[in-house]
Amino acid sequence: MAVHLSATFSHPLSCIICRRAQSAFFPVQYLLLKIKSMELRALHSEAKPLKIAALCGSLRKASYHRGLLRSAIELSKSSVTGLDIEVVDIEPLPFLNTDLEVDNTYPATVEAFRKKILEADSILFASPEYNYSVTAPLKNAIDWASRPPNVWADKPAAIISTGGGFGGGRAQFHLRQIGVFLDLHFINKPEFFINAFQPPAKFDSEGNLIDESTKERLKQVLISLKAFTFRLKGKDC
């Protein structure tokens, strides 16, 4: 079976195909292979890493949750490629106060924060558990970004937590509940809440993650978040 090619292409290879097509017929398989090759090269040249906005609910410098995010960034540069994870600082944000909204604008620090969330492909929350819930700084950041227009809407997200007892699991349940109203889409598996105080040691004195099995679990979260983000975008990872 053969096909006469009359369509025009902008790729240099297509010019050769078109010239030869004026006087000959070509096998379908040959043409499909050449076109597929061009498509793959175009996709490769245009591929960009997913932008992940990472938020830490703890402001403590040696926070274990900061350590989790540092480890996530390290993993994104080695074993889970295609992710650009940026920790977005929530400490400078003022307490939510609608008196600070003037002429439909927000304070500069809030505007900058909202822009980071809006431009992100997905969100990674490192959420400690305070009194069965999320921390005040994290809730404040969530509320600022939810002001009209809600910049959380339709973002894929994942939550990682550590601590004593349940390892932050109850805070995750509350954060998921908050996310329902915000139209955040959380991955369901794998779950990640780690008891930081059970042996073997998970963190060093500076809050760095040192346990290899926990790093592997964190890696699986990133892989799942990446796949889910592409799925919501309607693309293959």
Q: pLDDT truncated to tens, each residue of the chain (237 aa)?
A: 444 444 444 444 444 444 444 444 444 454 455 445 445 444 443 479 999 999 999 999 999 999 999 999 999 999 999 999 999 999 999 999 999 999 989 999 999 999 999 999 999 999 999 999 999 999 999 999 999 999 999 999 999 999 999 899 999 999 999 999 999 999 999 999 999 999 999 999 999 999 999 999 999 999 999 999 999 998 766
DSSP-H helix ranges across the chain? 12-21, 28-46, 64-76, 108-119, 136-146, 169-182, 212-233
Burial class from Cβ neighbours inside 10 Å (0-12, 13-18, 19+) for residue 73 reads middle
pTM of the model: 0.80
